[in-house]
Every structure is written in structure tokens, then in C-alpha cells.
Amino acid sequence: MKGKKELVRRLNKSLYGLKQSPRMWYHKFDTYIQGLGFTKRKAYHCVYFKSIGDRVIYLVLYVDDILLNGNDKEIIQDLKTQLSSKFDMKDIGAANYIFGMEIKHDWEKRKLWLNQRKHVETILQRSNMRDSKLVKVPIHVGVKLSIEQCPKAQEEEEDMSHVPCASEIGSLMYTMVFTRPYIAHAMGVLSRFMSKPGKEHWTIVKWVFRYLHGNGNHGLCYQGRPGLDIILDICVFVDAY
């Protein structure tokens, strides 16, 4: 305001959109949830768990979205009631889509599937790769990428500045971390050149697109054994060496 530029406004509460708002929200939620007896994971500060005898419940916080999981419906419902009394929240039922992942259940067979079909389709659409030719491996044998393939002349740098190579590698790595571990080798190779990618690097990025285009519905399947509340065996299938 004219004539009052030296003054500042003091807020009595955090407002949505301000820099300190996420921190204040997390501090408030963290204090409350730990007050209910939950323990925060040291490696993942947005993952909390609580055990009552042989009953266990997990809570995952992502900004203002909450995902609950446990082996007893009663303690899950009790936690929902406690959270509703403190925060203005809405229960949308069983999780079907979160963090860009689709979640499918088969309660009788004790199976759970995770896939990122929509995320992969978005990547392909954004890069005009929906009609690309399919390939069978995430990176073909004999590929040798090096720093020598990075742009050297100013003209080459300007040409590559219009190619979203780094951002697309980031999107692929997001897919790799959640549901596509078998593209990890290709991502490990490509991520070395994110700061200054060349045309050869972009060609391999598009190769990975073509690979994902052929298996868009693939994902991870978790299966428990009848009568048990834990998964004893983990089966891994990888087609990249």
C-alpha cells in the first residue's frame, strides 16, 4: 500500500498457497498422528505405523491425501473417525487410483495389482509415440552411449534445447520406481546424460517409449497366502541384464 510499504502483515494462521503452508500443515498432522500412538518411519517421514497386538495399521500421507492399510477393519475405521474429528476430510472408500497408479483387488484370491497404464499413455501421447513401432526389450544389445555424443556446437545445443529429453527421462524414472523395475538398466544408462543430452540419447529414450507402448497394461502383482496376513515369497521376473 502506498505510504505503508515498510509494514508487514502478520498471519494468525497459515494460508493455502504460501511458502510456509506445507510445512505448517505437515507439522500439525505429524504432531496429531504421533499423539495417537503412531510411529514415523525414519527413512520415509510421510509413512506412519501403529501396532496393537497382532493388529497393524499403516498410514501414508501425500500432501493432503491419505492412504490407509491394515490387517483389521475395526482399527482402520477407528482411525478414520479420529481423523474426521480433527480434519475436514472425505472418505472415498477403497483406493483405486493414487500417485498415478491404478490399484485392482481380488479379495478372494488375496491379490493386488498395481499398474501405471494411464501414466504411460500420457507419456506416449505427449511425445507423439502412440503409433510407434513396438520393440521387445527396453534397450537393445550393443548400445553404447557416451559424453562424446553430447552437443558440442552451439547449433546442436539449440536444436536439443527444444527436445524434452530430461523431463521425459524423469517421467520414465517415475514409472520405473513404482511399477516397471525392468527398465532400471536403461534408465541408469540414460540418466548419466540428463544435463546435456544429444540426439543419440533422445533416440534411446524413444526406444524405451516404444517398449512401454507394447506392454502398457503390465504392472506388479502382490499375492498373499490363504490364512496368512503377510507375504512370505517375493517372485521377481526381469528381462534386462
Q: How far apart are CA 79 and CA 85, in angstroms?
A: 10
Mean pLDDT of the chain: 87
Within a domain: residue 14? no
88: domain CATH number is: 3.30.310
Residue 164 has pLDDT above 60, yes or no: yes
C-beta atoms surrounding 140 within 10 Å: 12
Give the pLDDT band of residue 230 (cuts 50, 70, 90). low
φ/ψ of 131, rounded to 5, equals: -110, 20
Whether residue 115 contacts residue 217, with contact meaning beta carbons closer than 8 Å, is answered with yes
Q: Given this model, what pLDDT does residue 233 score?
A: 64
Same domain, 133 and 196: yes
Q: Given this model, what pLDDT does residue 16 score?
A: 79
Each residue's pLDDT tens digit, 200-222:
999 999 999 999 998 888 888 88
| SS3 call for 188 | helix
Q: What is the mean pLDDT of residues 109-121?
A: 89
Number of domains into which the chain is organized: 2
Each residue's pLDDT tens digit, 121-156:
998 999 888 888 999 899 888 888 999 999 988 888
Same domain, 184 and 141: yes
| SS3 call for 60 | strand
Instruction: Supply the DSSP symbol for 51.
Output: E
φ/ψ of 134, rounded to 5, equals: -80, 150
Same domain, 194 and 133: yes
Q: Given this model, what pLDDT does residue 241 score?
A: 53
Q: What is the mean pLDDT of residues 94-110?
A: 86
Same domain, 123 and 75: no
SS (H, E, C) 70-97: ECCHHHHHHHHHHHHHHCCCCCCCCCCE
Q: Which residues contact 108 (CB under 8 A, 6 or more apart)?
A: none
Residue 175 has pLDDT above 70, yes or no: yes
| pLDDT over 90 percentage in the chain | 41
* Residue-number span of the structural domain to which 27 is assigned: 21-93
Query: Which H or E run includes 61?
Result: strand 55-62
Q: What is the mean pLDDT of residues 169-193?
A: 91
Q: How far apart are CA 143 and CA 186, in angstroms?
A: 10
Q: How far apart are CA 129 and CA 199, in angstroms?
A: 17
